Structure 1
Amino acid sequence: MSKNSTELTVNPAPLGLAGFGMTTILLNIHNAGFFEVNAMILMMGIFYGGLAQLIAGIMEFKKDNTFGFVAFTSYGCFWMTLVGIFILEEVGFMAADSFSMGCYLFMWGLLTLGLFFGTLKGGKVGQAVFFSLTVLFFLLALAKFTGSHLIHTIAGYEGIICGGIAFYEAIAIVINDKHGKQVLPL
C-alpha cells in the first residue's frame, strides 16, 4: 500500500475509542452497583462497543496500523462475546460459571497487558487507557475467581475511570484534528 493512499483515510481511532470508552463507562456503572445489566448496556455492547470498534479496526487495517487493527477488532469482539454470554444466560440456554468467566476475563487481561507494552512508544493517555484496562480485567477476573462483591465494585469504579480516559482520548483526537494543532494533551 502506498503512503499516499493511507494519507487519504481518516483516523478511525476516535470512533473506536469513543465506542470503547462510552460502553466501558456504562457497563462499569453497573459493576459499581448503580443499576442492573439492561437493554441499554446490551445494545451499546453490540453496536457501539462492538460494531463501531470492528469498523475502526478494519479502517486501521487499511491504514496499515497493526496495533489499531488488533486492539479495535479484538475489543469489538470482546463486547460482542460478552453480550452473547449475557443473552445466552438470560434466556436460560447456557450459562458461564464464575470460574470460566474468571478465565475469560483473565485472558482478556493478558491480551491487554501485551497491548499495553505496545503503547509505550505512544502518548501517555493511550498508555493510561491500556494500563487501566489491564487492571480492570485482572480485578474483574479476581472478583469472579473469589466471588468478592467488594472487588467487583472496586473494579466498577476503576472501569469508569478507564472508560473516561478512553473517551477523553477520542474527543482530544477529534478536537486536535479539527484545530490542526494540539489543544488537548495526549
Structure 2
Amino acid sequence: MTSQTTANPAPLGLMGFGMTTVLLNIHNAGFFPIDAMILSMGLFYGGLAQVIVGIMCFKRGDTFGTTAFTSYGLFWLTFVGLLVMPKMGLAEASPHAYMGWYLAMWGLFTAFMFVGSLRYPVAKQVVFGSLTILFFLLAIRDFTGSELIGTIAGWEGIFCGLSAIYFGMAQVLNNEYGRVILPIDRKKPELKLAAAA
C-alpha cells in the first residue's frame, strides 16, 4: 500500500508537458524551426518524464492522472518518432492530411479528458480545455494548409503550456508553504492538494 507521504507526481508531469508545449508552439507561431532542442524536450521531458509520472499516478490509484500523463508522454514520443523516423529512412513521412487525423484523434481524446477535468479545480480545466482547442486547431491547419490557423494555434498552444506550468508550480508552492500562494480554483480557494492532482 502506498504511504500517505508519497509525493504528488503531477507537478513534474505538468512541467514536462507545459515547457515542451510552450517550446513547440513558439515554433508553430513562426519564431524558430523544429530543431534538436524541441526534439530532445519532446523525447525526454515531455515524453519520458510524463510516462514515469503516469506510472507513479498508477501507484497512487489515480486513474485520471495515469491516463493523462502516460498518454501525453506517449504523444510526445510518437510525435518525435513521426519527425525522426523519415529522416532515418525507417518510414515514409506522413502527409499533412494524415497528420490532421492524428491530431484530430488526440483532440477527441483530450475532449473526453476535459469532461473528466470538470470535477477538478479550474486550473486543471483550463489546461485540458485549451489543449482540446489546440489539437483541433492543429488538425484544421494540417487539413487545410492554412498558415494563419497554424499561427493562431501556436499562440493558443503557448497559452496552454503556460497554464500547465502555472498549475504545476501552484501545486508545488502551495504544498511547500501550506497555504494558497497561487490559486487553482476560484470557487474553492482553500488548499486542496489531493484534489488538485
Query: What TM-score, normalized to structure 2?
Result: 0.91
1:89 maps to what in 2? 86
CA displacement 1:6-44 (0-9 Å, x = unmatched): 413110000000000000000000000000000000000
1:9 maps to what in 2? 6
How far the C-alpha of 1:183 sits from its partner, in A, is: 1.2
Aligned partner of 1:161 among 136, 156, 159: 159
More helix by share: 1
Q: After TM superposition, what 4+ stretches of structure 1 lie above 4 angstroms from structure 2?
A: none
How far the C-alpha of 1:99 sits from its partner, in A, is: 1.1
How far the C-alpha of 1:91 sits from its partner, in A, is: 3.4
1:139 maps to what in 2? 137
With over 3 angstroms needed to count, the CA separation of the structure-2 counterparts of 1:8 and 1:38, relative to structure 1, is: same
1:78 maps to what in 2? 75
1:34 maps to what in 2? 31
With over 3 angstroms needed to count, the CA separation of the structure-2 counterparts of 1:131 and 1:6, relative to structure 1, is: farther
The residue identity in structure 2 corresponding to 1:116 is F
1:24 and 2:17 aligned: no
With over 3 angstroms needed to count, the CA separation of the structure-2 counterparts of 1:92 and 1:52, relative to structure 1, is: same
Alignment of 1:55-134 (within 5 A): 55-93=52-90, 94-134=92-132
How far the C-alpha of 1:65 sits from its partner, in A, is: 0.4
Q: Is the 8 A contact 1:6 1:62 kept in 2?
A: no
Aligned partner of 1:177 among 175, 178, 182: 175
Separation (CA, whole Å) in 2 of partners of 1:90 and 1:33: 22
With over 3 angstroms needed to count, the CA separation of the structure-2 counterparts of 1:147 and 1:123, relative to structure 1, is: same
Aligned length: 183
The residue identity in structure 2 corresponding to 1:63 is R
How far the C-alpha of 1:55 sits from its partner, in A, is: 0.8
CA displacement 1:152-175 (0-9 Å, x = unmatched): 110000000000000011111100
Separation (CA, whole Å) in 1 of partners of 2:125 and 2:3: 24
Separation (CA, whole Å) in 2 of partners of 1:21 and 1:89: 27
Q: Is the 8 A contact 1:50 1:80 kept in 2?
A: yes
Provide the secondary structure at the position in 2 that maps to 1:7.
coil
Query: What TM-score, normalized to structure 1?
Result: 0.96
Coordinate RMSD, CA, aligned: 0.9
Separation (CA, whole Å) in 2 of partners of 1:32 and 1:161: 12
Separation (CA, whole Å) in 2 of partners of 1:47 and 1:92: 22
The runs of 5 or more residues in structure 2 that have no matched partner are 185-197
Moved more, 86-95 or 152-161: 86-95
Moved more, 82-91 or 38-47: 82-91
The runs of 5 or more residues in structure 1 that have no matched partner are none
The residue identity in structure 1 corresponding to 2:87 is E
